[in-house]
Amino acid sequence: MELPRRARGDELLKSGELTRLRERLRKIAPNHDLATVIANAFDHRTRILPFIFADTRMAPAGVRAVGSALVDAGFDKTRIVLQQWNRNFRPSQMRLDGKVPDMFMVSSMSLHSEECMKLIGDAHRIDPAHRPLIIAGGPHAVYEPYALFSVNRARPNSADIVVTGEEFVTLSLIEVLLSVRGRGESMRSAFVRARDSGALDDVPGLVYSRGDANGVPEELIDTGMQRLVGDLDELPHPVLGYRLLEPPSRHATLSAHALSADEVEDRSPISSLVLTFGCKFNCPYCPIPAYNQRQYRVKSGERIAEEMWRLNKEYGIEHFFGADDNFFNDKTRTLDIVNKLACAEFEGVRLSDRACWYTEVTVHDTLQMKEHLPLIHQSGCRALWLGVEDVTATLVKKGQSADKTTEAFRALRDAGICPMPMMMHHDTQPLYSHGSNYGLLNQVELLRRAGAVSMQILMLTPAVGSKMLESSYASGQVFKSVGGKLVPPHICDGNYVVASSHKRPWQKQLTILAGYLYFYNPVWLIVAIIRQRTPVFRTPAYVQIIGMMGLVMTIARTSTWAVRLMFGKIERRTHPPVSQIPMRGIDGGAASHDTSAAPVQIQSPLLRRPAPPREIVVR
């Protein structure tokens, strides 16, 4: 089931609403000496291609955004702990300025959810008299907020409240809590009073529980879908969040000081930066358009340039990765941004001499921008990740074909921009096809010849919040257990075959490995070293080296899964995950995030035969 959309015309906040909230909080912040620790959950078992190295060398934007929002609102006593760098961190032992923090926040993607629940569980070891208010947020919370509440009576380790939205929701929650908080009162006690008085129900984007004295939730109240900030220039500045990072360590406790400014670039040389949100396409396996309530939101070129400049000046960061869903989504707005970046100058220095950037786009929109690619390169763009999915457009058609993909890749390479394809393998795609481009190896070869610098091959896996979720479960494609082992969340990332109707799913797993081996190997490394006189210079050779290193980890981890698929009995699920706890909206009606009553409507692409392709309408 996709996330529901608010009523037409009510999806966005009013202009200036986030700015005014920030101003209001700044006025009351001095009365509240709030201390907050924000943890980013990370399961180290997920460290394989294609994300290996990017996952630990880029401090995630989500926790930085929450930290920036708190500091911007006047709550300086905030620390961000990344499990990527601090795998032994224990919330039960955290102290900030010598005291247990008032709020413990945790952010997680779904694949890191086991670690997230362990962090919450460990925070519950703090004596209830001092326990901080536990707030969960991030992508896992957005799509499955109910999963952050525990129904286990023996271990009632739930978040107190889950934020299913962005900065505006988090700051609104804090505003409500501070408005009821008495002098010296704990945030948890303020939360209970605010909850019981119904004060939280006016903030769309929250899920909280009501339960017995032991903290086991009996029902979940969902305050509905958030309103989104339309003008991304209203967001707090990302420069603030970097000051809050806990230095890497092996300790369970926090260090006395955050990472110093001159160490930031060393630890996190790439900065993920919000530039735009949203995408006009409507791929059935993708939750993004629904999350954005079909809105396209942008930052101005001036603001992006200023953010890059300040991040470079204060921390020395030179590489920026746009957290975009489809940066070329709107030609006019894209051109406005890149024009500003190309001419931006600060203190007599051109920004493009100090900053390079990378992001995600589609083949279709790249061709629309073809004549502007030299300008885009001039603005500092050095690589673009393209959701090619399937060159033949059998799986999903979003304007790509073998010819168009080749044309787009060549145009990018000629402009000095590395094309980085993202492929999606599926049940009906063979390893190799004779006389067509349908096979995976045929497509990898086609992309390599067209100039692909890196390669991403993920198995089509039903994503929570996408249209195809229910039908994939209903048709029995989704594995519950293999060889007696339950499918754990950390392997549901597209790298492992965990949903398939194929008779021999292990073949799918090995096909993905074969695709990677075909692309990342010593032969193509040598070719890349010999052919360095291209507009993208040595990058293909560097990427080959990184790719081969990552492939070793990938083979080690996924081949054992292939063996399990080969010999183990596969049990399948018939329903997507649903809340174990009854959920309701504030008016007593259905909860926005309750997936239990979702209708099964869509024919899953996993089941489709190669032809005819389903056309996805480009709006």
- The binding site for ligand SF4 (CB under 6 A) comprises 279, 281-283, 286, 288-289, 325-326, 362, 387, 398
Q: Vertex 474, ends 468 and 478: CA angle to 5°?
A: 75
Q: Considering the complex, state which of residue 329 and residue 428 has its C-beta at the smaller distance from ligand SF4.
A: 329
Smallest distance from the beta carbon of 89 to ligand SF4, in angstroms? 33
C-beta closer to ligand SF4: residue 288 or 578: 288
| 207 part of the interface to ligand B12, by CB under 6 A | no
From CA 408, how far away is CA 413, in angstroms rounded? 9
Give the separation between CA 471 and CA 65, rounded to whole angstroms: 35
* Binds 343: which of ligand SF4, ligand B12, none (CB < 5-8 Å by kind): none
The listed partner (ligand B12, ligand SF4, none) that binds 281, CB under 5 to 8 Å by sort, is ligand SF4
List the interface residues with ligand B12, window 24-63 (CB under 6 A).
46, 51, 54-55, 58, 60-63
Alpha carbon distance 374, 352 (integer Å): 13
Give, to the nearest 10 degrees, the angle between helix 539-567 and helix 505-519. Answer: 160
Shorter beta-carbon distance to ligand SF4: residue 192 or 288: 288
Partner whose footprint covers residue 450, from ligand SF4, ligand B12, none (CB < 5 to 8 Å by kind): none
Q: Which of 338, 318, 320 has the alpha carbon at shortest distance from 328? A: 338
Q: Within 10 A of 516 (CB to CB), how many other CB atoms are there?
A: 23
Start-end of H helices in 198-286? 261-267
Binders of ligand B12 among 134-163, rule CB under 6 A?
135-140, 142-143, 163
Phi-psi region of 273 (alpha: psi -120 to 50; beta: other; left: phi over 0): beta
With binding defined as CB under 6 A, does residue 463 bind ligand B12? yes
Distance of closest approach, residue 547 Cβ to ligand B12, in angstroms: 15
> Within 92-131, which residues bind ligand B12 (CB under 6 A)?
105-107, 109-111
Instruction: Tell me which amino acid residue 200 is.
Output: L
Residue whose token pair is 């986030």:
18
Phi, psi of 99 (to 5 degrees): -130, 160
Footprint on residues 241-300 left by ligand B12 (CB under 6 A): 272, 274, 277, 287-288
Give 556 or 618: the residue with its C-beta nearer to ligand SF4. 618
Which span sits near ligand B12 by CB under 6 A: 145-153, 206-214, 456-464, 575-583?
Answer: 456-464
Nearer to ligand SF4, 328 or 561 (CB): 328
What amino acid occupies position 17? E
Does position 320 interact with ligand B12 (CB under 6 A)? The reply is no
Q: How far is the C-alpha of 505 from the C-alpha of 106, rounded, in Å?
A: 35
SS3 state at 48: coil
CA atoms within 13 A on the CB side of 466: 21
For binding to ligand B12 (CB under 6 A), which residues are involved? 46, 51, 54-55, 58, 60-63, 65-66, 105-107, 109-111, 135-140, 142-143, 163, 166-167, 170, 272, 274, 277, 287-288, 323, 325, 458, 463-464, 493-494
